[in-house]
Amino acid sequence: MPLVLLLLMLFGALCSPGQAMSREENTLSKVCLCVSQDHAYPADELMPLTCRGRVRGLEPSRGDIDDALGKFSLTLIDTLDTLVLLNKTTEFEDAVRRVLSDVRLDNDIVVSVFETNIRVLGGLLGGHSMAVMLKEGGQHMQWYQDELLHMAKDLGLRLLPAFNTSSGLPYPRVNLKHGVRGPETRTGTETDTCTACAGTIILEFAALSRFTGDPVFEAHARRALDFLWEKRQRNSNLVGTTINIHSGEWVRRDSGVGAGIDSYYEYLLKAYVLLGDDLFLERFNIHYASIMKYISQPPLLLDVHIHKPLLPARTWMDSLLAFFPGLQVLKGDIRPAIETHEMLYQVTKKHNFLPEAFTTDFRVHWAQHPLRPEFAESTYFLYKATGDPYYLEAGRTIMDNLNRFARVPCGFAAMKDVRTGSHEDRMDSFFLAEMFKYLFLLFAELDDIPFDVEDYVFTTEAHLLPLSLSMAPHSSPSDEELDDSNFDWTCPNTHLLFPDPAFPRILREPIRSAVDKSCPRPAPYREPGMGRPPLRAQDFMANNPEHLELLRRMGVSLIHLKDGRVQLVQHATQAVSAVAAEDGVRFMQEMMELSSQQQKEQLPPRAIQIVSHPFFGRVVLTAGPAQFGTDLSKSSTGVRGFVTVAEPYSGCSEIVNAEYIQGHIALLQRGQCMFAEKARHIQKAGAIGGIVVDDNEGSSSDTAPLFQMAGDGRSTDDITLPLLFLFHKEGNILLEALKEYREVEVLLSDKARDRDTSPAEEVSAPKEEVKPAEAEPAVAQPQEDRDSEKEEKPEEDTDSSSQSVDELLADWREDLEAFKQMEKDEL
């Protein structure tokens, strides 16, 4: 007999902008419960474009994403407590019976410990909490005898083997049937895990321990948190993104509040709220102080290096950090929450959805949007904290965009590209578990909600765990002595925070103007004799102290980004006067117009082709151009020469090895001076071209858009040689080639050219030209002749040096495959 998967569908009849929302519209009475027969159940997820269920192993693998699927009817379990919140108790009761009769947890399948914990274990515990509440009400679930809790304990026991490590940090994956160790498990060989993966266990495991009376789960979760806390960087009090589960060494030392770390911070604060253990609050407060000191640059939240926290680690932000304003509300720090949320809202309005990642100037970095709920979550919490109807408007924007762009006949489809509106055949379980919860709560009146949500804590998957668990029997907390200076015991009083209803609007206004480049403003009134604004955008120089002081007076702050650019943000309230604030607004508008014009004038990328033995033109590095020097697009031959490392490597003073640089292409390192200054020094030394390698270790086309080198603010007509830019990863290819071979010859040109590999062998040119600068990041691209695979390899290719080249090329082919996948998403 066909089984049913309940899909919640939104209707899109919303008010036009500017109108008040009626009670009818405020209550999500336009939420409809639709029954979709035979589409997904009992599969883990719905594929909304093809109207069928996603069953792991029957669909093409999507890599790590599929680790959330365990053939345990994921979406059904993940949405159990959503049904109760929507007062669909009959449907909830039916869903619970289906879970108990149909779901198996002993499948021979490898799953993510993190995803299974927050979605499945959390879903079972949230369902159990709702079932107990309904049973105590005396009208529903009278037959319930803790069956969901028994399933939750069974699952918890299946996850426990992952914690069998010397550090206590769990393996990232576990086999539901066989555990971790042993060949039949197909897991247990991993060495690294993300901080959030290991640090987002405590709520579910502690709840399981306190519901069942078995302390083993909470003990393991606490041990993992204790280890992460011990491994924090002691000077910055920040944690990295990825850690070795055996040694505790940080594998990735970048630190932020987005992907890889996000819910670790969330669970420290919520563990204090749920469990009442002051230790969690102390740790959160210490981390939070460092976040606000180093990562928060309102309205931006920029990743930094844990050992050098003043050094940004990225020039872009990922959409998962959108949860952070909501966490700041829980903390009671409302002002930065308002500012960051407003930035996110403006980016959402600009692109219809939050791109998976976006740059500090709010352009798309990764174009996907898998219908993530974090922005809706923060919108709900800010509305609860402020009562400002502005956040109802933000919620209505989310609903409208979901209906206009994501809704398809069988559900809601993830956006493959927010720029084109293309869809992906994907509807993750968190869309129903979280997005619908927060949107419903945002618009619902008190009498629309069947129970008091203030009696519950929301997990990171928005599952509801009762605060009464803090009184349940549990293992003794740590004896660690607490430092009272790290406690802020007060909760936010919105009446005191916002005596003036206009205050949140005052905070939002400068951020809106910073993101939205299409909001013309009238020129400010200036008293006679005051003249024009003190600084115009076209005259501004970031290294001019006088200009920086003028910015300060106008309330404009300067954020130095990792790629050498600067980000400007205005806070009108920090200007020295109202007139100065208006000057700042005009300056920001001019700067936006100037930036927009420069983007339109952006040059296409260039090519660096390694033409010497044993590469013979088969390796092409896509390089960033300079806005000065030789225009390679006007050269039919390009510039060809041998590469020599300049001394000093920075190129910021007179070149001391000029006799080797003369007639060669100089290799330089970015930093310490302007690009034009480097170009002048190597040109004086007789170089015929230059290549600047990024000094940011680990930078690559995977994490940054193509870089274009600007001049130094004065005439660069004296620079006549070509200068190109490579990210650190691509620059290392040249450096490694120089280490292995005495002479490396390259061709600098506008695109890859045909090259002779030997007198008897020719490698065909790549069929595709280099893409426009904004469309294709720099990447090492081996240009392979398909026919050459059929030819017999030259005898010298079997020597040891050539074998290492083959290994290099194999790595580059792997990078190319990764790039092709990224290109599908980006373009």
Q: Of 66, 78, 262, 694, which one is the catalytic site residue?
A: 262
Tell me whether residue 374 is one of the annotated catalytic residues. yes
Binding site residue list for Ca(2+): 460
Nearest-5° Cα angle at 452, 445 to 449: 35
Any bridge partners for residue 644, and if so which?
666
> β-strands 422-424, 414-417: how paired?
antiparallel
CA 391 to CA 228: how far, in whole Å?
36
> β-strands 254-255, 250-252: how paired?
unpaired
Place of tokens 């883990």: 44
Q: Quick check: helix, strand or coil at residue 755? A: strand
First vs last Cα of the chain: how many Å apart? 44
Tell me whether residue 266 is one of the annotated catalytic residues. no
Contact 224, 199 (CB under 8 A): yes
Q: Which of 513, 672, 492 is nearest to 589 (CA)?
A: 513
Tell me whether residue 282 is one of the annotated catalytic residues. no
Q: Of 66, 67, 254, 374, which one is the catalytic site residue?
A: 374
Any bridge partners for residue 756, and if so which?
762
CA 494 to CA 332: how far, in whole Å?
10
332 φ/ψ sector (left φ>0, alpha ψ -120 to 50, else beta): left
Tell me whether residue 792 is one of the annotated catalytic residues. no
Q: Of 45, 115, 266, 425, which one is the catalytic site residue?
A: 115
Number of CB atoms found within 10 A of residue 190's CB: 14
Q: Which of 191, 125, 189 is nearest to 154 (CA)?
A: 125
CA 587 to CA 118: how far, in whole Å?
47
- Amino acid sitting at position 423: H
Compute φ and ψ for 645, nearest 5 degrees: -75, 130
What sign does the CA torsion over 820, 316, 519, 390 have? positive
Compute φ and ψ for 424, nearest 5 degrees: -120, 140
On the question of a cis peptide bond just before residue 777, with omega within 30 degrees of 0, the verdict is no
Any bridge partners for residue 301, and if so which?
296
CA 357 to CA 433: how far, in whole Å?
23
DSSP letter for 605, please. P
Binding site residue list: 460
Contacts with 800 (C-beta within 8 Å, 6 or more apart), sequence order: none
**Which run of H or E residues covers position 824?**
helix 800-826
Q: Which of 61, 62, 64 is nearest to 260 (CA)?
A: 64
Q: What is the 3-state secondary structure (H, E, C) of 320-358?
A: HHHHHHHHHHHHCCHHHHHHHHHHHHHHHHHHCCCCCEE
What sign does the CA torsion over 117, 119, 124, 125 have? positive
Place of tokens 């992952």: 162
Q: Which of 332, 501, 356 is nearest to 424 (CA)?
A: 356
User: What Cα–Cα distance (Å) separates residue 644 from each residue in 683, 719, 743?
Assistant: 13, 19, 9
Any bridge partners for residue 196, and if so which?
none
Any bridge partners for residue 52, and if so which?
47
Token pair in block for residue 587? 């300056």
CA 378 to CA 507: how far, in whole Å?
16
CA 782 to CA 766: how far, in whole Å?
9
Q: Of 339, 356, 417, 461, which one is the catalytic site residue?
A: 356
**Which run of H or E residues covers position 670?**
none
CA 732 to CA 348: how far, in whole Å?
37
CA 294 to CA 58: how far, in whole Å?
46
Long-range contacts of 182-190 (CB under 8 A, 24+ apart): 185/110, 186/110, 187/110, 190/245
Number of CB atoms found within 10 A of residue 429's CB: 24
* Active-site amino acid positions: 115, 262, 356, 374
